[in-house]
Amino acid sequence: MNIDDHILLWKSATIQVFDIRYIKIHGDEQPSSFRLPASGFLYAIKGKANVILDNKSYMIESFNIAHAGKGSCLHISAVEDSLEYYLILYKATLPITSRKGMLALWEREKPVQLQYAFQVTNALTLQEKIETMHREWLKQNNIGHFHVKSLFYQIIYELLQQLHQQHVNVQQPDPVEQIQNYIDEYYNLPITRESLAQMLNYSVPYIAKQFKQKTGRSIIDYLIQIRIQKARQLLIHTTLSLQEVASSVGYEDVSYFIRIFKKHSGLTPMKFKQQPKQHKSYRPMYRLSLSNDKKWIQHYIDNDNYYQYKQKGDLLMNKKTKSSMMTTLLLCFTLLLSACSGSAMNTTNNVETKAATNQAAEVQSTTKIVSTVKGDVEIPVDPKRVVTDTYPGFLLTLGIKPVGTQELYMKSPYLKDHNEGITYFEDSLEAVVDLKPDLIITGDEKKYEAFSKIAPTVLIPFTLEMDETLEEFSRILDKEEEVKAWLDDYHQRVAKAKQTVQNIISKNQTVTILAGGAKNDITLYGNGYTGRSFYDGLGLTPPSKVIDDIDPEKPWLQLSPELLTEYAGDYIFMAVDKATETYDYKSEPVWKTLDAVQNDQIFEIDGWSFWFSDPISILGQIEEVTEMIVQQVKRN
C-alpha cells in the first residue's frame, strides 16, 4: 500500500455518508451477519468478539477498527459478555472529470474496497470524533451532516497515518470468492451479473472476466450449478411439489426449471425423484461458507434504515388427495362392519366383505395417482375422452385423438389430416363440460383450477421442450412404448435430414433465422420458437453474435434493419406470411449488402407453419426446410 497514492485518491474523492449507528450485541444473542450495502468502518468501543469479513477472521476488542468494502459479508460471533461498536457506512467515488491516470490509480488501488483491522493508537481522540459524528448524524439536518463529512475526512487522515506507521496488512478482497459466497447463501433470490457488479462496486465485464479466469466457468453457470444441487437435495429428501422446489431454488417459472434441471442432470425432476434411492447420485461441490447450517440471515436495508430478519428453510408437507383418503375410509368402514357382525352372520358377512373388498379393488384399478407440478392427481388408467387446450399434436403423436381442443393448435398444416372427429371449444368452459371428459390435459396454469372442477386435470407446462413434454405424456398416459417407437422414427428421419443439409451447409457456415420481411422491424430468433427446427433440429450453426446476445429464456430479439449486418449469417431464413408476402431483397438498401442475399442463400419460409411446436409439426418443419435447401441447390 503506497500511502502517498491513497492520500491523493482520498483528497480527490467525493464522499457521501449513508448511515452512522451505535450497536450493542449481548453474548447470549444470535450471531449477527449481514452484507454491507456500502463501504464501512466498524469501530469497537467496548467488549470482544470474533469478526469475519468475507471468510477472513479478526478478533475485535476495544479500540479496534475494521474496514470492508461494499458487498462484503460481515459476521460477528463469539461475543464475550457484549460488544459495543459504531458502524459508519459511506460511498466514495472520483468525479467523472478526473484525469485518466487518476481513474486508473483508483481502479488499481480500490481504497474503498480494502479489508483490514487493527488497534488504533490514539483511541480516545478517534472515539471522540466518531461519537460526535453519531450525535450530529442523529440531528438529521444539513449543518449536522456537513459536520459529519468534515469529521469523516479527519478520521480518514488519522487512519491512513496509522495504517502506514503500524504496517497494517491491508488486503484487496477477492471478488470471485465474494460472488461465490453470495451465490451459495442467496441462490434462491434473483441474481444477475449486473446486480452482483452493483453490489460489489465493480463493472460487469470486470467481474465476469475475473470469475471466468479463476473458476473456468461463467457466473451464471455457477449459479445454475448451485441451484440444481439444492434442487436435487429437495427432490430426494422432501415431499415438496415441483412448483415449490422450483421456487425454493430461485425459479418462479417451473417449466424453465424443468428444462434447466434436465440439461444439467440428464433427467427431468420427476424422473430424478422417481429413481430408486440407492441409484441416486448426489455429489455436491462443498465450499467453505460462513454459515452453511444457519437457519436465519440478517439483511441490512439501507433505504428503510433498519435491520430485518428473514427466516428460510421451512418446508411444507404435501396434502394427501381426497380420493385416496376416501378409499382408505371405505376400506376401514368395510372392515369395521365385518368386525362388529354377530357370529351367526359370519359366513354371510365374509362373503359380503370379500365382495365389497373386490369391488373396492376393482374401482381402484381403474384409476391411478400421478405426480404433477400441481401435486398428486388421481386420473383414469385408460382415459377414453381426453380434452386438451394446447396439446392436440402431442396426443395425436401417441395415437390418441382428443374429443376436444382449441382450434388454434390444430391449424398447423402438418396436422390437417387429423381434424375429423375433434370438437373445438375455444375458451368456453360450458363446451368443455358438454364434452364429458374423463381427463383434461392443459398447458395453461391459469385455467388449471377451472378445468380441475370439471374432470381430473394434469398441468404440463407449455414451455417445455418437445422431448421433455413427450416424456411427461408417456409417464402420465403409460405410453412409453409408443413414445419410444415414435422418437426412434423421428431421430432416424431427422438424422437423414441433418446429413442431407450438412452436405450442403458446412459446420463453419452460419445460419440466421429472422421474421418480418425486408421492410419491417425484424425479429431475430435463437434456439427457440421459429429457430428451434434449424438449430436444435438440423444442428445448424448460428452466428456468434446471436449466441452472445440472445437470452435462452427469451430466445428472440427485435432488430432494426440497420443492425442486420451484425447478425447476418452465410444463410438466412426469413419467416413471412407466404400467402400474402414476398420480398425482393436485392433491391433493398441494407439487404443487398449481405453476403447471403448476394449469393442467393436467403430463403422465405411460412412463419405460420413454423409457429407450431408439437412433434408432428417440428418433424414436418425439419423435412420441409431440408427439401427447400435441396431444391435450391438443384436450381443453381
CA distances from 284 to 221, 228, 332, 364, 515 (A): 15, 10, 45, 41, 43
What per-residue confidence (pLDDT) applies to 305? 29
pLDDT 10s digits, 582-603:
899 999 888 999 999 999 999 9
Q: How far apart are CA 432 and CA 31, in angstroms?
A: 58
Judge whether 425 and 405 are in contact, CB under 8 Å. Answer: yes
C-alpha torsion 200→202→204→208, nearest 10: -80
CATH 3.40.1260.10 fits 375-478, yes or no: no
Q: What is the widest separation between alpha-carbon atoms in the chain?
A: 107
- Which CATH number does the domain 3-165 belong to among 2.60.120.1570, 3.30.43.10, 3.40.225.10, 2.60.120.280? 2.60.120.280
Number of residues that make up the chain: 636
CA atoms within 13 A on the CB side of 235: 30
CA distances from 481 to 26, 149, 268, 477, 487 (A): 66, 75, 18, 11, 10
pLDDT confidence of 290, banded at 50, 70, 90? very low
Task: Determine what percent of the chain falls in helix, strand and coil, rounding each to the nearest 5.
Answer: 50, 20, 30
pLDDT confidence of 310, banded at 50, 70, 90? very low
Percent above pLDDT 90 for the chain: 39
Q: How many C-beta neighbours within 10 Å does residue 128 have?
A: 12
Which of 118-122, 491-495, 607-611 comes out lowest in average pLDDT? 118-122
pLDDT confidence of 450, banded at 50, 70, 90? very high
- CATH assignment, 487-635: 3.40.50.1980
What per-residue confidence (pLDDT) applies to 343? 40
Task: Kindly report the backbone phi and psi dihedral angles of residue 189, in degrees, each rounded to the nearest multiple of 5, phi listed first.
Answer: -100, 160
Judge whether 27 and 81 are in contact, CB under 8 Å. Answer: yes
Residue among 140, 188, 202 at smallest CA distance from 311: 188
CATH class of the domain whose range is 175-279: mainly alpha
Report the interhelical angle of 100-109 vs 3-12 (nearest 10°).
120
Mean pLDDT of 124-130: 87
Mean pLDDT of 408-434: 91
Q: Is 168 exposed, middle or buried (0-12, 13-18, 19+ CB in 10 A)?
A: middle
Q: How far apart are CA 568 and CA 259, in angstroms?
A: 28
C-alpha torsion 576→579→585→588, nearest 10: -90
pLDDT 10s digits, 312-332:
333 333 333 333 444 444 434
